[in-house]
Amino acid sequence: MQPYYFRKKRFRSHRSRMGKTVSDYSPILGTWLIEMALLLDWYRPPKSGIWPDVFSDYDFLVLTGIPDPHAAEETEENEIAEEKPTTGNCRSILEKRLAVLQNSKIPRELALFDNIELLAELIGLDEADQCIIAFAAALDLFPSFKSAIAGRCEKTPDQLICLILNRLTGISERKFRSAIGSDSLLISTGILRVGRGVVDLEDKLQVFEGLSPILLTPHLSSEELSGRFIKRASKPTLTLENFPHLKSDIGVMRDYLSNVLEERTTGVNILLHGKPGVGKTEFVQALVAQMGADLYEIAFSDEDGDPIKGTARLRAFNFCQRLLARTGNAVLMFDEIEDVFPVDFGMFSFFMEEGGGGRGGGKAWVNRTMERNPVPSIWICNRVGHIDPAYLRRFDYSIAFSVPPMTVRRNIAEYHLGCFEPPRTVIEKIASNDEITPGQL
């Protein structure tokens, strides 16, 4: 493969679960930093006799392995201490160190790159896609790498980021322009967000929240990696017989979803909403189980193990759609969607991340998500009053869940409490209280 880090790893051993530290990635990160310094003229002295900023940047020097030229004494480890900070000398120092890094040994098993290759198997990433993810994830994972770049305050339009990636990998700028385009795989799946217009280099490319830590964790197979993103929903504890008050909705949804799965229709979205505990999730589990389909849900979490929030969840949803696209008999349940839709800040939307912010976010991207999702999806939330009606109109069908009628509440109380053999009066008292939801039972 053409990218530098793949070329260095072409002789690979079996994957293991051995973790790697930033030092294992330093030859690659250092190579990228020097290549960028040469391309973007970071090596040019600001004025005669003054070393460029990169030669006093701790993170840049540590990752590249270049000695500090400001050291008081010349040693074997610091041969450049007595060098003059001319343009030619500064460039020569970088080029010599680059040659050393390019010939250095790199561990055969680096989880970040192994996982990106597994991801490519799962969703069909090409080389340009993989390199973009590697670069964006490195910025997210290694603070010293990001800091070394941030210190340069490099304002970066689309053309420049493509030029930089071309320099780092040897892949054509044209392929990178295509890879960050509005209809590209990376954007449409939600993996990547591209900063709008001219932004700082370290902020130009961003993978969605929660992805980078997963890519830094060793996985033995694409199936194991996939399991970090999606999971089978729990088996139902109820059947559709427990929802007699939704009989007409059950018939409509069952027929519609069965036809959708058979015809492999795209852009199918159903909305269930109602107060917590009224049985929305259990209803979906029972319905899909009766249909004989496979119900999945999103398994993403952040570095602390907490669920990701906001539009990051919507990007994760889009990515999971891609993972499930080939299964043919899958339904995706998207729960607690209250915070996933972008908020309209009116005239200020351009400046707000939730309202604008470049490719991979904003209203147009959300609309495309709902129009193109290959796997039928059931969206669940407790309230919908704050959601833009323009989004609500895009759902094919919706059900407003209320507290079940008393007869249903009585059956649920008997179902869950019968093993304790409570007096009949207790069951009736519980059933008559419409403040007690099925979820509480």
Residue in 300, 292, 295, 336 with CA at minimum distance from that of residue 318: 300
pLDDT of 65 > 90? The answer is yes
What pLDDT is stored for residue 334 in this prediction? 94
Residues 84 and 113 in one domain: no
pLDDT of 386 > 70? The answer is yes
* Alpha carbon distance 375, 392 (integer Å): 19
Return the top range by mean pLDDT from 13-17, 129-133, 279-283, 354-358.
Answer: 129-133
Residue 365 phi, psi dihedral angles, 5° rounding: -65, -40
- Lowest mean per-residue pLDDT among 156-160, 289-293, 300-304: 300-304
User: Please, which residues bridge with residue 231 across strands?
Assistant: 297
In a domain, 412, yes or no: no
What pLDDT is stored for residue 209 in this prediction? 87
Q: Which of 102, 133, 167 is the last residue of a domain?
A: 102
Question: Other CB atoms closer than 10 Å to residue 206's CB: what's the count?
Answer: 23
- Looking up tokens 């976010």, which residue turns up? 361
Residues 149 and 59 in one domain: no
160 and 152 in contact (C-beta within 8 Å)?
Answer: no
Range of the domain at 158: 4-20+108-213
Please state whether the predicted TM-score (pTM) of the whole model is above 0.85: no
Question: Other CB atoms closer than 10 Å to residue 320's CB: what's the count?
Answer: 27
Determine the residue type at 274: G
In a domain, 54, yes or no: yes
Residues 11 and 154 in one domain: yes
* Alpha carbon distance 133, 113 (integer Å): 9
Residue 96 structure tokens? 């010599």
pLDDT of 170 > 90? The answer is yes
Residues 379 and 243 in one domain: yes
- Looking up tokens 């519609």, which residue turns up? 256
Residue in 208, 403, 234 with CA at minimum distance from that of residue 301: 208
In a domain, 407, yes or no: no
In a domain, 408, yes or no: no
Average pLDDT of the chain to the nearest whole number? 85
Which residues are CB-contacts of 118 (< 8 A; sequence separation ≥ 6)? Answer: 219, 221, 222, 225
Residues 342 and 370 in one domain: yes
Residue 30 structure tokens? 């250092």
The pLDDT tens digits for 296-315 are 998 876 666 666 777 788 88
pLDDT of 232 > 90? The answer is yes
* Alpha carbon distance 300, 230 (integer Å): 7
What pLDDT is stored for residue 133 in this prediction? 98
CATH code (residue 358): 3.40.50.300
User: Please, which residues bridge with residue 294 across strands?
Assistant: 330
In a domain, 441, yes or no: no
Residues 313 and 270 in one domain: yes
- Lowest mean per-residue pLDDT among 38-47, 118-127, 148-157, 308-317: 308-317
**Residue 363 pLDDT class (50, 70, 90 cuts):** confident
What DSSP string describes 305-363?
SPPP-THHHHHHHHHHHHHHTTTSSEEEEE---TT-SPP--GGGGGGSTTT--SBT-SH
| Total number of domains constituting the chain | 3
* Alpha carbon distance 223, 204 (integer Å): 31
Residues 259 and 338 in one domain: yes
**Residue 351 pLDDT class (50, 70, 90 cuts):** very low
Q: Which of 401, 420, 436 is the last residue of a domain?
A: 401
In a domain, 330, yes or no: yes
Give the residue, 402 or 379, on which the prediction is more confident.
379
In a domain, 417, yes or no: no
What pLDDT is stored for residue 143 in this prediction? 96
Residues 161 and 265 in one domain: no
In a domain, 416, yes or no: no
**Residue 76 pLDDT class (50, 70, 90 cuts):** low
Give the residue, 70 or 156, on which the prediction is more confident.
156
Q: Which of 77, 102, 127 is the last residue of a domain?
A: 102
What pLDDT is stored for residue 302 in this prediction? 63
**Residue 350 pLDDT class (50, 70, 90 cuts):** very low
Residues 144 and 76 in one domain: no
Give the up-direction half-sphere exposure of residue 167: CA atoms within 13 A in the CB hemisphere.
16
Residues 249 and 202 in one domain: no
Return the top range by mean pLDDT from 139-153, 312-326, 334-348.
Answer: 139-153
Residues 74 and 15 in one domain: no
Residues 143 and 251 in one domain: no
